[in-house]
Amino acid sequence: MIAALLTGLVALIHVYIVILEMLWWDTPRGHKAFGLTPDFAARSKVLAANQGLYNGFLVAGLAWGLWLGAEGFAIKLFFLACVLVAGLFGAATASRKILYIQALPAALAIAALLAGI
């Protein structure tokens, strides 16, 4: 139950990231979320949309695993691990806050999933 809730939270966080990257990148909200200048946001909008699409695939995988319930254990574990790796990489290369926004929730969901809670 806790694992499912945490996995759902990770999926919802990524729904928001998809929206930020694909729709709001070149808006004041996107600028603030990612620390962008309007000029850089305008020039990188297509790259951000592509990145958002990949985050959408993470959402799809997590939702698929949740939909399958107990039979989706391996799927949830795989996609949570993908989120964790992406969060660790992002924290190391882009912004330390990604560690807390992306990697930590995924790690907690993985721990709960493996503990069977």
> pLDDT tens across 10-34, in order?
999 999 999 999 999 999 999 999 9
**Residue 116: left if φ>0, alpha if ψ -120 to 50, beta else—which one?**
left
Check: pTM over 0.95? Answer yes or no.
Answer: no
- Check if the beta carbon of residue 65 is closer than 8 Å to that of residue 7: yes
Residue ranges of E strands in 4-78: none
- Closest alpha carbon to 81 in 7, 5, 1, 13: 7
Query: By residue range, what is the domain housing residue 41?
Result: 2-115
Give the count of domains, the chain.
1
pLDDT tens track for 82-93: 999 999 999 999
